[in-house]
């Protein structure tokens, strides 16, 4: 297989528009130190020193796409609560458009608060609703996405599904049909609820647990022949062109055209795995839009997911660092 011009590929990222559909959230952090145990209950007392809010969920995918030089267009539904104002302010701060953000007074803006002491997670508190959009909001959301697709040149579409109800079977069907008619590649980071709804997409990216549950085949993580069997079942049922499976410490697996390839994880000083999947799917979307072969899509995305695991908290990829590693590996 001919090696790509990595520098030229990364330069080409700057011309792409990537549409990201999915559940957005605010990642809130409370940092501090623990010096004693509470006299009221056997729990640590955190002396809070810093608090911070960041974009999370599908919005973190947008940040990764932006960090790689492309233009992300984020489509989601949030509440009309006080946290929605925080979310819009975070978008503005990061210079992300809110043209695809729909507000619904019947929904809550998702917030995940992580309490951290000395780089160790002590607790996470989630504020959210996870029921599906009502029929009226769903119709508005689909029309809003289709309008953006009709008005702009879109080079790839990502479905970033966190099972919070923003992505419904009707949203999937409407957008995938439009994408396939207009030759726009589609990528999916699935969760359990809609797992089998993503038919006829270009790249489907479950993790190992989701693969086992979705294919209903009992296999071990290191059993690559078993994974291949499960993936072929999914290829058949979903008609997906590429199946990219993340295997955590074992790296990634990609199958296409009746064959598969495994790529081992890079040796890393792992600090936090939060957000690695967001980085991986964002990177894969740009590699796919750039026309890279499946093995290179998987390989560069694998590098990106590993790099962000070296950072504490949910952070976007560093393009220069990823470019350097990709050049060293593939040039």
The catalytic residues are: 278
Q: How far apart are CA 147 and CA 328, in angstroms?
A: 41
Determine how many CB atoms are found less than 10 A away from the CB of residue 316.
24
Task: Report residue 153 CA to chain centroid gap.
Answer: 21
Q: How big, in percent rounded to 5, are the helix, strand and coil portions of the chain?
A: 40, 25, 35
Using an 8 Å Cβ cutoff, are 79 and 102 in contact? no
* Alpha-carbon distances, residue 1 vs 4, 16, 90, 295, 331 (angstroms): 9, 25, 43, 9, 12
- The length of the chain in residues reads 331
Question: Taking Cα atoms as reference points, which of 136, 139, 115 lies closest to residue 126?
Answer: 115
* Alpha-carbon distances, residue 43 vs 13, 132, 153, 211 (angstroms): 48, 36, 53, 37
């Amino acid at each position: 297989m001919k090696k790509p011009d990595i520098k030229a590929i990364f330069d080409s990222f700057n011309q792409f528009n990537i549409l990201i559909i999915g559940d957005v959230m605010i990642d809130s952090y409370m940092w501090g130190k623990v010096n004693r145990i509470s006299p009221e209950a056997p729990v640590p007392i955190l002396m809070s020193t810093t608090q911070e809010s960041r974009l999370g969920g599908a919005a973190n995918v947008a940040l990764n796409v932006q960090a790689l030089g492309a233009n992300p267009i984020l489509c989601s539904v949030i509440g009309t609560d006080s946290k929605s104002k925080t979310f819009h302010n975070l978008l503005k701060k990061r210079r992300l458009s809110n043209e695809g953000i729909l507000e619904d007074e019947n929904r809550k803006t998702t917030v995940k608060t992580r309490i951290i002491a000395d780089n160790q997670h002590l607790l996470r508190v989630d504020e959210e609703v996870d029921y599906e959009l009502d029929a009226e909001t769903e119709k508005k959301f689909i029309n809003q996405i289709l309008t953006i697709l009709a008005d702009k040149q879109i080079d790839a579409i990502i479905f970033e599904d966190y099972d919070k109800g923003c992505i419904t079977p009707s949203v999937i069907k409407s957008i995938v049909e439009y994408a396939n008619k207009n030759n726009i590649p589609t990528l999916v980071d699935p969760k359990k609820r809609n797992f089998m709804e993503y038919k006829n997409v270009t790249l489907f990216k479950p993790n190992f647990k989701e693969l086992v549950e979705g294919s209903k085949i009992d296999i071990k993580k290191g059993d690559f022949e078993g994974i291949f069997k499960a993936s072929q079942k999914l290829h058949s049922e979903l008609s997906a062109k590429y199946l990219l499976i993340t295997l955590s410490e074992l790296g990634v697996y990609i199958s296409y055209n009746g064959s598969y390839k495994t790529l081992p994880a890079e040796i890393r000083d792992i600090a936090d795995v939060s957000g690695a999947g967001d980085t991986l799917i964002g990177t894969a979307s740009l590699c796919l839009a750039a026309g890279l072969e499946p093995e290179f899509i998987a390989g560069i995305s694998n590098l990106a997911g590993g790099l962000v695991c070296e950072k504490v908290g949910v952070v976007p990829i560093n393009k220069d660092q990823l470019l350097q590693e990709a050049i060293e590996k593939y040039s």
